[in-house]
Amino acid sequence: MDLLNTLVDKGLRRELPTREEALAVLATSDDDLLDVVAAAGKVRRQWFGRRVKLNYLVNLKSGLCPEDCSYCSQRLGSTAEILKYTWLKPDDASQAAAAGVAGGAKRVCLVASGRGPTDRDVDRVSKTIEAIKEQNEGVEVCACLGLLSEGQAERLREAGADAYNHNLNTSEGTYGDITTTHTYADRVDTVQKAHAAGLSACSGLIAGMGESDEDLVDVVFALRELDPDSVPVNFLIPFEGTPLAKEWNLTPQRALRILAMVRFVCPDVEVRLAGGREVHLRTLQPLALHLVNSIFLGDYLTSEGQAGKTDLEMIADAGFEVEGADTTTLPAHRTEAASGGCGSHGGGGCAPCGDSAEDTGQQAAGTPGARPDLVAVRRRGAGTGLAPNA
């Protein structure tokens, strides 16, 4: 297929596809799906080989969020029966992180619900970062605390944070349909603050909220322009008790096409398969490893993931290997150009209110493909007395 040959050539040169080419990937048929995966897989292997980076989420503060993000089980007005608790103590958070590191995670993502941190919250998280770094040599720490005020990104970096996550989630044109308590511009501003402070910027999207193909391409092109080092791709988890509970329109094939499009647009960036992969990719999860080079291990913020042992077996059975702590994730041209934590990036990546790798597909219950039985509320790990899934 000429389209795929063109996209591979551009991906190997880190050249941005046209919008028409990106839209064409989303419009390919199921008959062409394996060809699309194989083509995007060539680009993935060029920049990341067969390595898979493991990330582990620690939910520092669950629920009780004043924001109204429609996709989120922790939102204002949510009746989802999720765990609710206030800030974990630094030692408790460090213990939770250690379980993920023991399971092979290279990065720990510290997430807290809320609009954004107070200065006192930044102090609290800084102590948590220091505790994790002291007890887990070589681990990366990414903070995801919401909208940042002036100077907060710098303080987090001084405490030892390596990265900051704040997802764009959807296109600028449809953002107001999903959230009204803050703006798309607010999110862009926080990503830029993190980048300017020398933190590795992490910003991604949620697919499956009713958006069009054009909306998906818009947000991925916007991410390419923001130039984060990592781009998490979440698929909506339609939690009962949220406004998007009946949105079940994703199929495994559609999810794979979205991941392929992201890889073609962001060829040399850490593309992370995040929340909703078990719900929407199901038995096709191993195929996604040919498109992404990073996944979350175990559970998410308020939902359960598949067993950590199953994640590791899936990676090995698909012919990939877990990336070691002594390996640099990003290609040399990005790391060498970095001044601080993020790099250039020539040719031209965890979130507030629980939108990081989590409470984030479509097909109303009863429609073919809907799997509400796979939406399991997290009842173990951080904030509970039960062992974590890692």
pLDDT digit string, tens, across residues 47-60 = 999 999 999 999 99
- The reported pLDDT for the residue numbered 167 is 96
142 is catalytic: yes
Which residues, in sequence order, are bridge partners of residue 343?
none
**Residues 6 or more apart whose Cβ sits within 8 Å of residue 16:** 10, 221, 224, 265, 347, 348
Query: Where does the pLDDT of residue 342 fall: very low under 50, low under 70, confident under 90, or very high at 90 and above?
Result: very low
Residues 71 and 293: beta-carbon distance below 8 Å: no
Among the ranges given (133-137, 168-172, 279-283, 365-369), the one the predictor scored with the smallest mean pLDDT: 365-369
Report how far apart, in Å, the C-alpha atoms of 188 and of each of 147, 153, 222 are: 10, 14, 9
pTM: 0.88
Query: Where does the pLDDT of residue 299 fall: very low under 50, low under 70, confident under 90, or very high at 90 and above?
Result: confident
How does pLDDT run across 365-385, given as a tens digit for each residue? 445 567 777 777 787 788 787
Catalytic residue among 14, 75, 107, 109: 109
350 is catalytic: no
How does pLDDT run across 109-151, given as a tens digit for each residue? 999 988 999 999 999 999 999 999 999 888 999 999 999 999 9
202 is catalytic: yes
pLDDT of 287 above 80: yes
Q: Average the pLDDT over 207-218 and give the result.
A: 96
266 is catalytic: no
Query: Where does the pLDDT of residue 70 fall: very low under 50, low under 70, confident under 90, or very high at 90 and above?
Result: confident
Report how far apart, in Å, the C-alpha atoms of 199 and of each of 93, 167, 262 are: 21, 15, 22
Query: Where does the pLDDT of residue 348 fall: very low under 50, low under 70, confident under 90, or very high at 90 and above?
Result: very low
* Both tokens assigned to 167: 């997802």
Catalytic residue among 202, 342, 350, 353: 202
